[in-house]
Amino acid sequence: MTEVIKRKLSDSKAMRWTALALVAFAMLCGYFLADVLSPLKPMLESELGWSSSDFGLFTSAYGWFNVFLLMLILGGIILDRMGVRFTGLASCALMVFGCGIKYAAIAGYLGDTTTLLLGWKSQVMYASIGYAIFAVGVETAGITVSKVIVKWFKGKEMALAMGLEMATARIGTMMALAITVPFAKYFKSVSAPVLLCLILLCIGFISFFCYTFMDKKLEASIAEGDVEEEDPFRLSDILVIVKNKGFWLIALLCVLFYSAVFPFLKYATDLMVNKYHVSEDLAGLIPSLLPLGTLFLTPFFGNLYDRKGKGASIMILGAVMLIGVHLLFALPLMNQWWFATILMIILGIAFSLVPSAMWPSVPKIIPEKQLGTAYALIFWVQNWGLMGVPFLIGVVLDKYCKLPTKTAEGATAYNYTIPMIIFTCFGVLALIVAFMLKAEDKKKKYGLEEPNIQE
């Protein structure tokens, strides 16, 4: 009797890695826009008249619609009901639309800095609204891509695939931090990098569109094979998810850890200018080392988790490193660019450790039919931090950290000690939750310490 070995398209290495490349490129384009204005904070202040509070409001807009209008949760429900093709294309379209509004505002076509809208400069508000719309798209795309990876790599190199996807997306972050200021100065326009993002997002939409054809073939191959399907997702499954203690520990770890990283990156270039006296043109290069490090390390740690396990322990180690880095950034010592570079490299290692183990752990806690909604709920919790922390830091800088001097480029100078202490506190809380997650894993036997690859 002849045994059929390959019944699904995902059994082909070439097909599943090609699918990963297509969706990962779309996320790269999204992450480029997410951080494109971070290195431009001094230019926004000196050329457009923005304050740190304006910048904090703008960066907090990332979570407005996702948090208060529950768009992320709705996106997760749509994902589990409608599938990855519909949700992914809709998400990419939202990214393009939101980027268009953001560009129009920064370029001066929408609003200005003299008229007010809802009590804020109209230019800032329009840019924030565009950013908020984009954030709905990029966050929903993120949970869609996570489900795509589970769909193609379950029982195979899932953590490695998630690590490579995150690493590819971080290239977008690295590009935003490293090339944005030189690009803006070359074209003598602070809006030029945003226009570049708009073009890339259109290409990313095309990339995901190409993936949809592969997804159709995968589902056809599953239908041809004698593969038992799971029960469809029901709204009552949300209650099952939120009653799961392991889910909440993952969600809390996510929001605490990312609140100490992504909002920090929004201000990292300004930190390099103010504390380490790096020139504005080069200041973004040091923070760009963080995503550059994740490009290599996240897949490495993901592959380690696939083959050796120890997911909860990896998350604990990452949280410890996070605390150490932010504490050293807060202390008034070694104010040299090379010391900041070393700290950023260590932070990059920490930023590779935690996500490489955290995201592949979710399918061990939550059934696959509920994954879209579970990821959406985790991202929703995370967005509270991504919304609130940047705004908090901006207000703190304006109220308590202004210095009477100016930077070399003529922008307002700040003392970053208090903001870095705030980031350190988030790291301490993340460490506590990581230990609680490891204890819960021992109790419930989720298998977080076990390898992902099934022999």
Which of 68-82, 217-231, 400-414 has the largest mean confidence? 68-82
| Residue ranges per structural domain of the chain | 15-223+235-444
pLDDT value at residue 233: 56
Q: For residue 172, how far is the Cα from the chain centroid?
A: 11
Which CATH code of 1.20.1250.20, 3.30.450.20, 1.10.730.10, 3.40.140.10 fits the domain covering 15-223+235-444?
A: 1.20.1250.20
Query: Which phi and psi (to 5°) does residue 191 adopt?
Result: -90, -15
Comparing 409 with 318, the larger pLDDT belongs to 318
DSSP string, 31-95: HHHHTTTGGGHHHHHHHS---HHHHHHHHHGGGIIIIIS-HHHHHHHHHHHH-HHHHHHHHHHHH
Cβ(118)–Cβ(125) under 8 Å? yes
Whole-angstrom distance, CA of residue 269 vs CA of residue 17? 34
Summarised one tens digit per residue, pLDDT across range 2-54 is 344 446 787 788 899 999 999 999 999 999 998 899 888 888 988 898 998 99
Whole-angstrom distance, CA of residue 155 vs CA of residue 453? 6
**What token pair was written down for 382?**
């995370």
Summarised one tens digit per residue, pLDDT across range 417-443 is 999 999 999 999 999 999 999 999 888
Cβ(111)–Cβ(121) under 8 Å? yes
Three-state secondary-structure class, residue 327: helix
pTM of the model: 0.79
pLDDT value at residue 137: 95
Summarised one tens digit per residue, pLDDT across range 195-246 is 999 999 999 999 999 999 999 998 887 765 544 455 555 667 788 888 889 8
**For residue 393, is pLDDT > 90?**
yes
Summarised one tens digit per residue, pLDDT across range 254-267 is 999 999 998 998 89
Helix (H) or strand (E) segment spanning residue 443: helix 417-444
Strand partners, 414: 402
Crossing angle between the packed helical segments 13-34 and 158-186, to the nearest 10 degrees: 40
Three-state secondary-structure class, residue 411: coil
Cβ within 8 Å of residue 382, ≥6 positions away: 251, 254, 255, 258
pLDDT value at residue 77: 84
Structure confidence at residue 145 as a pLDDT band (50, 70, 90)? very high
> What's the alpha-carbon Rg for the chain, to the nearest Å?
22
Q: Position of tokens 């393009």?
A: 96
Closest CA to 160 of 176, 149, 175: 149
Whole-angstrom distance, CA of residue 370 vs CA of residue 79? 10
Query: By CB neighbour count within 10 A (0-12 exposed, 13-18 middle, 19+ buried), where does 236 fall?
Result: exposed
Summarised one tens digit per residue, pLDDT across range 306-363 is 788 788 888 899 999 999 999 999 998 888 989 999 999 999 888 888 877 887 888 8
Closest CA to 120 of 186, 168, 57, 183: 57
